[in-house]
Structure 1
Amino acid sequence: MLAAGISLAAQTPSLGRISFPTSGSAQAQAPFIRGVLLLHSFEYDDAIEAFREAQRIDPGFAMAYWGEALSYNQPLWRHEELARARAALAKLGPTAAARGARAPTVREKAYLDAVERLFGDGAKAARDRAYAERMGQLAQANPADDEAAVFHALALLATIPENERNAAVSLQAGAIATGILKRNPQHPGAAHYALHAFDDGEHAAMGLDAARTYARIAPASSHARHMPSHIFLPLGMWDEAVASDESSFAASVDRVKRQGLSMAQADFHSLSWLHYEYLQQGRFAKARDAMQTVERAIAASAPGTAKAVPYGAAPYSAAPYSAAPYDPSRPVPRTLTAQPTPPTSPALRAPPASHDHVESEIGRGFGPVSLKSELASMRARLVIESGAWGAMKGVGSFDNIDELFALGMASVRLRDARRAEAALEHLGTASKTVPDRDAREIAQIMGAELDGLLRLSRGDRAGALAALARATALEAKRPRPVARPYPIKPAAELYAETLLGAGDPAAAVVQFQAALMRTPRRAASLLGLARAAQKTGHRAESAEAAKDFLAAWHLADTDRPELAEARALAR
């Protein structure tokens, strides 16, 4: 018999609610449903344990093995543990036919057949397409089954190649997810996958309802708390984004403490977003606090402490807080010299978390390598957003190209031409040798930006503006950012600032407006627009931009000189 009534009654309200009747025993339904809810919020490790609990209660419960196997595929993180997924299925039966025979209904056989295709033979992309096709057939055959539909939506998103965008597929997935959310406003998967469908840089506003809903649906999930910032950040809704990521990181730390894990299992992805959001609020002290949290985690993962250091047993203090196409560069320490040697790394970028951590069933964890790279990007953004160029004085090494660019830009500001030229040479080499096309494009834009600044420092105004115009044109060819912008100093914003400094405020207004179209409500662009518009005599536009800046900076560090300037412009 299908355990239909239990699927709603025995649920965890803090993870959302779904209806997913299956043929498992009544006693196994609660952990099974908990597993599906956790799976919808990408809490893969906890989902695996929940599905295993359902298996222990009811060893013949076919869908419990389906759930465990599916948890080893993290489609939007571009990772899978194929051997483990196959091993989970093998516990149910030695062959696909034997496993299918143990599923008592046609519908459950179809679910098993879908994961057999996902974890069968062939390349990952082909298996993803086969799985998506099968889930589409399953959803069509069972129109009342929201789980079939929502997993189909996720499967569609997984067919979009990494670093590519496909609006038609994204919008199709988003329409499926939002339709389910209307029928069941507490469905965590529907809210979650709608956010991923619309966080493509162009359709973020379509995800606002889901963003305002998801964290409330599933507050027990750190990832659910973070996901709304995938909509809030691209729209420049800084207060909402900060609240989302503060809450997310705190929830991940609570899980670390509760389960006695090391801080490698905390969600430094949300912390890195939070750092950027603090910068856009003018809260540079809070941004430094976030960096110190990363520094403590790196110290605790040093040799001799890397294995399972529980939170609180290592040099951590209580945390101060309540899944982009281009990630930070691969951390390869380099020395910045007057005669630089070219980078020889196969790549200068890395994912935000590695997949070889012993505390995680899916091997996920933030080790010292990924944390050092993230910290380097944080340092780079802090220097550039705050203008604290002196922090880079005399620095001769860098952990990724974000930090390399910040070193180069700071060296120009500090009139250290030889160091800036060395940074430019490194960027030029990276733009030609890094295997990843997206990273090469970013390095090329950064190189053009730094070239423009160097030319300006030498008095070559025309050459500087031409280089910055080239950087801006290259940036404009790229899709709009889905999260933190790359390059870390938007080219249009830098071009606008340079035009303003060169005495062409009218042209600067145009570029600041273009910058704000790509990255809404970025603080530097708002204040720059206010300055440029004031110089062109457009006082109303200047005052409006200044007021927008002050609204973004309403919690800013009180010693920042930009506040007094913006207040004067807003009058």
Structure 2
Amino acid sequence: MKPSINYLLSLSSLLLIFIFSCKNHKPTPDLSSLDLLRGELLLCGDGQFGDVSFSESCSYETRETFNLAISLLHSFEYIEAEKAFVQVIDKDPECAMGYWGVAMSIYHGLWAPPEQSVLEKGVKLLAVAEKLPKSEKAEQYLEAIGAFYRDWETVDNQTRKERYAQKMEELYKENEGDTEIAVFYALALRASALPTDKTYSVQKEAGKILERLFVKEPNHPGIAHYIIHSYDYPELAELGLSTARRYAEIAPNSAHAQHMPSHIFTRLGLWEESIKTNINSASSAVCYAESIEPGAHWDEEVHAMGYLVYAYLQTGNNTMAKEQYNYLKSFKKVFPLNFKIAYTAAAIPARIAVENKKWDEAAVIELPQLMDLDWKKYPWQRSLLNFAKALGSVHINNLNAAEENLKLLRNSEKELLTINDVYKANQVAIQIKSIEAWMLLKKGKSEEAIALMTIACEMESMTSKHPVTPGEIVPADELLADMLLEMDRPGEALNYYELNLERRPNRFNGIYGAAVAAKRSGEKEKAKFYFETLLNQTKFSNSDRPELAEAKSFLLQNI
């Protein structure tokens, strides 16, 4: 029997449907090798991270999660940002911008160069996104961040950051009026700035872009955040002060948003404001850590503590500074273990000893053995302790111990040069020259000591501080002023103390040194001004520092 016409037509229709569906079926991307972070979003407070509206999110169902992910990314809440972007991917595996979001969440352009595992993950993410359908703008976003991840084996980190910034500039110029493109371009621009460029031309350009945007979108977390990063320099900090005071209100549930204003407060010597915002930041970080693993500590808490200790010391509050150090020593687990943790763990004990000029204590500081830190990975951070020990040893006339620590500093410099970390190697080189200068002084070679210390000052003036640090253990200008004062040259010392205070306003030892130098130079009114400034700066700290007793005594005698 022959098949009926209706049967053949039905069969043909089914065959066409099958062929068409096979032709247009897109296999779900293989995500097994991407090591994506998944899990419930852990957000303290009521989830306020500012307002964003990102035009290139994918399906309507994922838009709210995507915008939250962007908000988290803008406040450097990287872990939760990645989890949020992965939630988008899990709901819509063909959302190319979801993979871009993860690639951005693991790219920390303002911090240390990423490890190899991060770069490999970025390349894999881009490879998946490349095969997916996407808009022209999404294609450009992916191409831009791809300029950073690709060729990482053969092209250095700085060059790749500059490539990314160049691609974002092209995207920015083609999409006038797109806020998110402008914001990410400004961040890429700021991240590409060389720390040796003291014109700050790149940072100023980024700041201008962001300031224009902030007028239109005053509740955008990224705009406020990146304005602060653009102006996080003594010469520019005043430009970021109003924004710094606003950012914490925009993203009240972000530990980093609570901390970030203190970068500007520190540059301007506004210690009480710095203390307040870092207490809030540490509290928010504790909340987050407790939600992940009770008893553990998040690196944002430790970072805030580093700035807290610095601010406490500038108000003469040794009690609170030491309380933070004792608290840090009680930590059993911190996540993630990274360069920020190592920096703070080394800097806090060094600062407490050196700022108080407790040279016998400084001479015997040891690297904190806590939190399973592998100090071999952190030569720059180790150098902070070796510098403090060397300085302490010089001041108690133990030049053999000073020489031993000087050798360790030179080894750290070599390590950093070997891995082509020129910036940090230069920071250690400044420490080396400073110690060599003080050793010359102790050997009676005064003019050679001043000449070498002056070189250290010039080196320090030509480079910017790293974003992780609130400031040097001791600024070179201040060390040179101390040296001149010790040589009974108070007039010259006063000049350097005042230069130091221009660059680092309201440093306790800078103010005190200027007061003493002015007094010894016979400049009574200037001495009164600096001693009064010191007392006013420490009035809330109930400090027992002997410098304050000296200030009070001088002012009573010179009413």
> Kindly tell me: are residues 393 and 482 of structure 1, through their superposed partners in 2, closer, same or farther at Cα, counting changes over 3 Å?
closer
The alpha-carbon deviation at position 21 of structure 1 amounts to 3.5
Cα deviation 1:214-247 (Å, max 9, x = unaligned): 1111111111111112211122111122222222
Which AA in structure 1 matches 2:229? H
Query: d(CA) in 1 for partners of 2:436 and 2:383?
Result: 15
Secondary structure of the residue aligned to 1:77 is: coil
Structure 2 contact 310–470 (Cα < 8 Å) conserved: no
Structure 2 contact 434–453 (Cα < 8 Å) conserved: yes
Query: d(CA) in 2 for partners of 1:242 and 1:405?
Result: 26
Query: d(CA) in 1 for partners of 2:158 and 2:424?
Result: 22
- Give the aligned partner of residue 64 of structure 1: 98
- Give the aligned partner of residue 533 of structure 1: 518
Secondary structure of the residue aligned to 1:387 is: coil
2:337 alignment partner, one of 348, 361, 366: 366
- Give the aligned partner of residue 543 of structure 1: 528
Which AA in structure 1 matches 2:313? L
Structure 1 contact 515–525 (Cα < 8 Å) conserved: yes
The alpha-carbon deviation at position 109 of structure 1 amounts to 4.0
Query: d(CA) in 1 for partners of 2:342 and 2:286?
Result: 19
Structure 1 contact 28–57 (Cα < 8 Å) conserved: yes
The alpha-carbon deviation at position 208 of structure 1 amounts to 1.2
1:386 aligns with 2:365: no
TM-score with structure 2 setting the length: 0.78
Map 1:413-432 onto structure 2 (within 5 A): 413-427=395-409
- Give the aligned partner of residue 216 of structure 1: 249
Secondary structure of the residue aligned to 1:16 is: coil
> Kindly tell me: are residues 536 and 240 of structure 1, through their superposed partners in 2, closer, same or farther at Cα, counting changes over 3 Å?
same
The alpha-carbon deviation at position 147 of structure 1 amounts to 0.6
- Give the aligned partner of residue 252 of structure 1: 285
Which AA in structure 2 matches 1:180? L
Map 1:174-185 onto structure 2 (within 5 A): 174-185=207-218
- Give the aligned partner of residue 205 of structure 2: 172
Query: d(CA) in 1 for partners of 2:340 and 2:257?
Result: 22
1:233 alignment partner, one of 244, 251, 266: 266
Query: d(CA) in 2 for partners of 1:126 and 1:479?
Result: 19
Q: Which moved more, 1:412-421 or 1:537-546?
A: 412-421
> Kindly tell me: are residues 252 and 165 of structure 1, through their superposed partners in 2, closer, same or farther at Cα, counting changes over 3 Å?
farther
Structure 2 contact 414–425 (Cα < 8 Å) conserved: yes
Map 1:28-67 onto structure 2 (within 5 A): 28-67=62-101
Which AA in structure 2 matches 1:85? G
The alpha-carbon deviation at position 522 of structure 1 amounts to 0.9
Structure 1 contact 493–512 (Cα < 8 Å) conserved: yes
Q: Which moved more, 1:411-420 or 1:517-526?
A: 411-420
- Give the aligned partner of residue 60 of structure 2: 26
Map 1:188-227 onto structure 2 (within 5 A): 188-227=221-260
Structure 1 contact 499–505 (Cα < 8 Å) conserved: yes
- Give the aligned partner of residue 111 of structure 1: 141
Which AA in structure 2 matches 1:389? W
1:243 aligns with 2:228: no
Secondary structure of the residue aligned to 1:148 is: helix
Query: d(CA) in 1 for partners of 2:325 and 2:389?
Result: 18
Q: How many residue pairs get matched?
A: 489
1:74 aligns with 2:108: yes
- Give the aligned partner of residue 475 of structure 1: 460
Query: d(CA) in 2 for partners of 1:30 and 1:216?
Result: 21
TM-score with structure 1 setting the length: 0.77
Which AA in structure 2 matches 1:20? F
Query: d(CA) in 2 for partners of 1:560 and 1:294?
Result: 23
Query: d(CA) in 2 for partners of 1:283 and 1:155?
Result: 38
Cα deviation 1:157-176 (Å, max 9, x = unaligned): 23335666662221111111
1:407 alignment partner, one of 364, 380, 389: 389
Identity %: 31
The alpha-carbon deviation at position 187 of structure 1 amounts to 0.7
The alpha-carbon deviation at position 539 of structure 1 amounts to 2.3
The Cα RMSD (Å) is 3.1
Structure 1 contact 256–266 (Cα < 8 Å) conserved: no
Query: d(CA) in 2 for partners of 1:371 and 1:498?
Result: 32
Structure 1 contact 446–487 (Cα < 8 Å) conserved: no
> Kindly tell me: are residues 67 and 441 of structure 1, through their superposed partners in 2, closer, same or farther at Cα, counting changes over 3 Å?
closer
Query: d(CA) in 1 for partners of 2:439 and 2:181?
Result: 56
Q: Which moved more, 1:146-155 or 1:267-276?
A: 267-276
Map 1:260-339 onto structure 2 (within 5 A): 260=293, 263=296, 265-267=298-300, 268-297=302-331, 300-301=332-333
Structure 1 contact 534–542 (Cα < 8 Å) conserved: yes
Cα deviation 1:463-516 (Å, max 9, x = unaligned): 544444444344344447867576522222122223223322211211111111
Larger radius of gyration: 2
Secondary structure of the residue aligned to 1:14 is: coil
Structure 2 contact 227–240 (Cα < 8 Å) conserved: yes
Structure 2 unmatched runs, 5+: 1-45, 369-374, 376-381
Which AA in structure 1 matches 2:253? A
Query: d(CA) in 2 for partners of 1:135 and 1:444?
Result: 35
Higher helix share: 2
Query: d(CA) in 1 for partners of 2:167 and 2:464?
Result: 31
The alpha-carbon deviation at position 402 of structure 1 amounts to 1.9
Cα deviation 1:95-124 (Å, max 9, x = unaligned): x2x32xx22x44344434434444444635
The alpha-carbon deviation at position 78 of structure 1 amounts to 3.9
Query: d(CA) in 1 for partners of 2:364 and 2:138?
Result: 64
The alpha-carbon deviation at position 33 of structure 1 amounts to 0.6
Query: d(CA) in 2 for partners of 1:545 and 1:473?
Result: 25
- Give the aligned partner of residue 563 of structure 1: 548
> Kindly tell me: are residues 408 and 527 of structure 1, through their superposed partners in 2, closer, same or farther at Cα, counting changes over 3 Å?
same
1:377 aligns with 2:347: yes
